[in-house]
Amino acid sequence: MIVHDAHRALRNAAAIAGVLGVPSGDAEDAIGRVEDAIDAGETAAPWRAPAMTTGDAAILQVFAVQVVAACDQALDREGRPTGPLGRRVANEIACSAGSPGDGVFAQAGDGVVDLHEPRMALGDVLAALGDAIALIDFARTISSTSWCAPRCGAPPRSTRSG
């Protein structure tokens, strides 16, 4: 479930990046490769987890950090647009106002910005991106040999002797 939530958050982050001007080309490619790994993992043996390369992990981590930082610049503490990036959000809302379902962002009557349905709530996306950043940091601390069995297709070996 964590992988699917992180994937969904990254897909939403890619939409946010498009509005806020965060480069997403390499991240979009990495997300596609992760989707392929998830699809393969769903049809593989139950012990086999989806794997991603360290390069894709690094790309997605940097991308997530950039999107979170851009959102911090675009919205004030109450979640209202502010500054140059906030104007991008406001413009995107205005341009998609007559086309329900087409925009990335939506704005409530009190001016608070969220993501347009059926996307995740903006707060949930930012929290999931924070979790993904932390998960990638943690994964990088694990030695490559402990990841070998699931990526190589062999079942995990017991470390107990006898």
Calpha distance 56→126 (Å, rounded): 20
* Weakest mean pLDDT among 55-64, 67-76, 94-103, 128-137: 94-103
SS3 116: coil
As a residue count, the chain comes to 162
Calpha distance 156→48 (Å, rounded): 9
The pTM is what? 0.77
- pLDDT tens for 5-38 read 777 888 899 999 999 999 999 999 998 887 887 7
* All residues at 6 or more sequence positions from 91 whose CB lies less than 8 Å from its CB, including other chains: none
What pLDDT, on the 0 to 100 scale, is given for residue 80?
96
Token pair of 51 as six digits: 């794997």
Question: Binning pLDDT at 50, 70 and 90, where does residue 71 land?
Answer: very high
What pLDDT, on the 0 to 100 scale, is given for residue 131?
83
Question: Binning pLDDT at 50, 70 and 90, where does residue 87 land?
Answer: very high
